[in-house]
A and B are shown apart, each in its own frame.
Chain A
Amino acid sequence: ETGVTQTPRHLVMGMTNKKSLKCEQHLGHNAMYWYKQSAKKPLELMFVYNFKEQTENNSVPSRFSPECPNSSHLFLHLHTLQPEDSALYLCASSQELAGGFYEQYFGPGTRLTVT
Chain B
Amino acid sequence: GESVGLHLPTLSVQEGDNSIINCAYSNSASDYFIWYKQESGKGPQFIIDIRSNMDKRQGQRVTVLLNKTVKHLSLQIAATQPGDSAVYFCAENSKGTSYGKLTFGQGTILTVHP
**26 CB < 8 A contacts A-B:** A6-B43, A40-B106, A42-B4, A42-B104, A42-B107, A43-B91, A43-B102, A43-B104, A45-B101, A55-B98, A55-B99, A56-B98, A90-B43, A96-B100, A99-B95, A101-B32, A101-B93, A101-B95, A101-B100, A102-B99, A103-B100, A104-B34, A104-B102, A106-B36, A106-B46, A108-B42
Report the tally of A-B residue pairs with Cβ distances under 8 A. Answer: 72
Q: Chain B contacts of A2 at CB under 8 A?
A: 43, 45-46
Shortest beta-carbon distance from B48 to chain A in Å: 11
Q: Which of B94-114 contact A (CB under 8 A)?
A: 95-96, 98-107
CB distance from A108 to the nearest CB of B (A): 5
What number of B residues sit within 8 Å (CB to CB) of A?
27
For chain B residues 6-33, which have a beta carbon within 8 Å of chain A? 32
A48 to B101, CA, bound (A): 8
Q: Is the CB of A50 within 8 A of B43?
A: no
| Extra inter-chain contacts (6) besides given A99-B95, A109-B43, CB under 8 Å | A41-B106, A43-B104, A56-B99, A96-B99, A99-B51, A101-B95
- Residues of chain A within 8 A (CB-CB) of B51 are 99, 101
Given the complex of chains A and B, what is the CA–CA distance between A55 and B34 in angstroms? 22
